[in-house]
Chains A and B, each alone.
Chain A
Amino acid sequence: MTRKIGRLLGVAGVAATLVLVGCKSDPDPVEPPDDPPPVVETTPPPPVEEPPKRMDAEGNPVDLSGNPLSRTFYFDFDQATLSQRDLAVLQMHAEFLRDFPDRSVVIEGHCDERGTREYNLALGERRSGAVEGFLTSSGVRASQVDSVSYGEERPADPGHDESAWSRNRRAELIYR
């Protein structure tokens, strides 16, 4: 019995050292997830000049001033047309994805509750497809982009008025 516990403690100790070793020898800057910016800065800095910050703590792309790029794009009723403003933002997403070819994004297409559910499933796909088409035509590799339509099944706002509907007609970029 005590021997078993001793062995378990031994295993735990080995595991702990493995984790520590793993932390020390892992300065990989393109593998961001948990708390990347401090880690990058506290490890011995590379001698090259510091590039502008490209993503926030969650790994989502930021603009030149460091603010997160908008990842939700809204549509008019029964439409799948992106506005000029949205296209400008999507252009920055495209640049980010071109510069970080190991990053990928899922585009979710959504609709408001009006109209039939299956028609909206197809309309949601048209919306996610509009975003996907713009990204790939801007040089993002098709393997980096995936899209899924949820139709009206996943509203951002559960309300039943025009303001809720306008928030629900959307495409969302989810970075992985």
Chain B
Amino acid sequence: MIARICSQLRLPARALSRGSGKVRPAAGSKCAPRRVCLAALSALALLAAATSPAAEDLEIVISEGRDNPARIAVVPFDASTAPVASGMADIIAFDLLRSGQFSTLARENMLSYPATPEDVFFRDWRIVDMDYLLIGRAVLESNGDLGVAWHLYDVTAGRELLSRRLVASPVHMRDVAHRIADDAYAAITGVRGAFSTRILYVLVQNPGTTYARYQLRLADSDGERARTVFESTEPVMSPGWSPDGTRIAYVSFETGKSSIVLHDLGTDERRIVANFEGINGAPAFSPDGNTLAMSLSRDGNSEIYTQDIATGALRRVTRHPGAIDTEPTWNATGDALIFTSDRGRRPQIYQVDLATLFVERLTFHGDYNARARLLPDQRHLIYVHRRDGIYHIAWKDLERDDLPRVLTATSLDESPSVAPNGAMLIYATQDGGRGILAVVSIDGGATYQLRSASGDVREPTWSPFLDTTRVVSSSE
């Protein structure tokens, strides 16, 4: 047995402490059902525009790594002329460590601190048993840009694997660091890195009381740079990303009942797109970003619909009176929806072909299977599965009828969301009565938790791969 990665390593995530203080709830924003309260709506829209960074946000605790991780040394970068970059190596190392595929070398155990290829002596790294070495130097360009030249080495083979130079505004230092981690991860594992991504989640303060406050929060994949996207005294749930990562959709009770909101992350412009009688829930963007799948009960019971975002036109997809049909998610080609239904008495997962409306059942083991998500390979399904009365996240191969594999060791697990590279899964669970987020690698082994000092966190949604043009490659 090789040692587990750094059990109980704690890194408090710092949030940017810019801007205004706490935003107060709008008075009288609690409205009667089915009556849109305009005053509250505009007040809430103002809240959405004034994003409030919390003093302390997600703290990450790594509890377990996989056996036989690759060993890498990420040497502190030479940032003598660009102090803004002095913490970059720590950001990169923490990214790689969280993936569960790496163990990292503490800087006090390094025999030298090379920053350029001329300073690298492989024997220094073989002595401490490293497989890989990552070094870099950051400079401030004459135009104020941050330039980072970095190199990745295979210590065993004694050769350079990758050499890159990145340029960005210094305010995007963390983006540069995540980009380096992505590229190093891809060079070593052959899988695209997903550290330059974000997590959208719901933070609830004073849950279960009349003082409950619901915040939709957005953070980097390492829990940093968290900000509030929307805040309300009414419940907020079911956030989801557009495929290009520029918009989100979620359910808000700001009208006094569930309604679906479309929110542009660039402009903070928000629009209620579905506020029909009954439930308006479970929004999911189509792969082309033009259509939302959703669950509406306007015709009497919860059914799956699609809505053209530009025109608002609705199409009813399921027709099963008396049954709950909800939690739709799209396949990659956009020609089928996978959803939860209790049409067979217990909740199970089904698929409907959008051309023929033919419905097929996908899960057969267990009496509670719900809220499915497809892995990027389109062959494996992740969903909430109850076994012996305990709710876990399970994994199933759609081409075989095996028992689902349970991926989580916690209970009351829900809301699984898969990283865009398919390597990790984030979900919501509880620890000591507190709502926390947890991440596991799909192939088992690595786990870590994200928790907030100030409330319950729930419903995490991993972003797609995002536009990274803030960081550009350049030749030296």
Query: A115 and B391: CB pair below 8 A?
Result: yes
Residues of B within 8 A of A159 (CB): 433
With A113-B412, A126-B324, A153-B253 in contact, do A118 and B391 touch (Cβ < 8 Å)? Answer: no
Query: A121 and B258: CB pair below 8 A?
Result: yes
Asked if A119 is at the interface of the complex by the 8 Å CB criterion, the answer is yes
Asked if B205 is at the interface of the complex by the 8 Å CB criterion, the answer is no
Asked if B295 is at the interface of the complex by the 8 Å CB criterion, the answer is yes
A161 to chain B, nearest CB (A): 9
Residues of B within 8 A of A118 (CB): 237-238, 281-282, 295, 326-327, 340, 371
Asked if B83 is at the interface of the complex by the 8 Å CB criterion, the answer is no
Asked if B182 is at the interface of the complex by the 8 Å CB criterion, the answer is no
Interface residues of A in 110-132 (CB under 8 A from B): 113-119, 121-123, 125-126
Alpha-carbon distance A102/B371, docked complex (angstroms): 42
Query: B414 and A121: CB pair below 8 A?
Result: no
Alpha-carbon distance A100/B342, docked complex (angstroms): 38
With A122-B295, A158-B207 in contact, do A116 and B327 touch (Cβ < 8 Å)? Answer: yes
Most buried by B among A117, A118, A147, A160: A118
B111 to chain A, nearest CB (A): 50
Asked if A103 is at the interface of the complex by the 8 Å CB criterion, the answer is no
Query: B237 and A117: CB pair below 8 A?
Result: yes
Alpha-carbon distance A123/B295, docked complex (angstroms): 13
Alpha-carbon distance A108/B455, docked complex (angstroms): 25
Residues of A within 8 A of B297 (CB): 122, 125
Residues of A within 8 A of B209 (CB): 158
| B270-306 near A? 1/0 per residue, CB < 8 Å | 0000000011011000000000000101000110000
Asked if A62 is at the interface of the complex by the 8 Å CB criterion, the answer is no
Query: B34 and A146: CB pair below 8 A?
Result: yes
Query: B208 and A116: CB pair below 8 A?
Result: no
| B402-444 near A? 1/0 per residue, CB < 8 Å | 0000000000101100000000000000100100000000000
Selected contact of A122 from candidates B256, B326, B368, CB within 8 Å: B326
Alpha-carbon distance A151/B371, docked complex (angstroms): 15
Asked if B392 is at the interface of the complex by the 8 Å CB criterion, the answer is no
Selected contact of A117 from candidates B32, B301, B414, CB within 8 Å: B414
Residues of B within 8 A of A158 (CB): 207-209
Selected contact of A114 from candidates B251, B342, B391, CB within 8 Å: B391
Asked if B370 is at the interface of the complex by the 8 Å CB criterion, the answer is yes
Alpha-carbon distance A114/B301, docked complex (angstroms): 21
Asked if A106 is at the interface of the complex by the 8 Å CB criterion, the answer is yes
Alpha-carbon distance A108/B14, docked complex (angstroms): 40
A67 to chain B, nearest CB (A): 25
Residues of A within 8 A of B391 (CB): 114-115
Query: A150 and B235: CB pair below 8 A?
Result: yes
Query: B279 and A125: CB pair below 8 A?
Result: yes
Residues of A within 8 A of B368 (CB): 115
Taking beta carbons and an 8 Å cutoff, which residues of A are in contact with B? Answer: 106, 113-119, 121-123, 125-126, 146-151, 153-160, 176
In the assembled complex, 8 residue pairs joining A and B whose CB atoms fall closer than 8 Å, in A order, are A106-B33, A116-B370, A118-B281, A126-B324, A146-B33, A150-B235, A151-B237, A160-B412
